[in-house]
Amino acid sequence: MSDSAPASVSPPRVPIEAGFFTVPEDRAEPPRLLGSRCNSCNEYFFPRRVVCARCLGESLSDCELGPRGILYTYTWVHVPLFGSLRSDAEGYGVGQIDLPEGPRVQAVLSGGPGDFRIGMEMELDLETLRVNKRGEEVAIFRFRPLAAAGERSGS
């Protein structure tokens, strides 16, 4: 709990799989999802696509999405999150988040079973799943309720 030693350099973080989200060096900065925007019809997609699912155009640009969205629906999974460092004894939330750009993204949620309400604002966050053999933190993206942001850093 009380780290008396000054915060040393954090180990580097890497995404669990490249090409889906950013991992900012500044840990106070929220990550972004890596999506595509169609140059013909302006539709946004996550994950990235090479052909537009709306107009079948083949000219798409990479773009960053989020970090905030609205919780469309969610459920609670009553088993531990696979591969997680944490002892998710009570399980974890999974939800669908509507991004302002348009895509509906399915993601793991941060928080307890009573922390979610349909329609609430969520923010993208990273969580270290494990440390790999090179000493790098392997990160996944999650969405957490925006209102809980202050509580987390408070105590």
Cβ atoms within 10 Å, residue 93: 22
Provide the minimum distance between the beta carbon of 43 and Zn ion in the complex, in angstroms, as a whole number: 5
Contact 135, 119 (CB under 8 A): no
Q: Please tell me the distance from the alpha carbon of residue 31 to that of residue 93, in angstroms, as a whole number.
A: 19
Q: Is 102 in the site for Zn ion (CB under 5 A)?
A: no
- Sign for the CA dihedral angle at 131, 22, 105, 37 comes to negative
Q: Is 147 in the site for Zn ion (CB under 5 A)?
A: no
DSSP state of 91: -
Q: Total binding residues for Zn ion by CB under 5 A? A: 8
- Near Zn ion by CB under 5 A, which window of 54-62, 81-89, 110-118, 139-147? 54-62
**Residue of 51, 55, 85, 118 interacting with Zn ion (CB under 5 A):** 55
Residue closer to Zn ion (CB basis): 41 or 79: 41
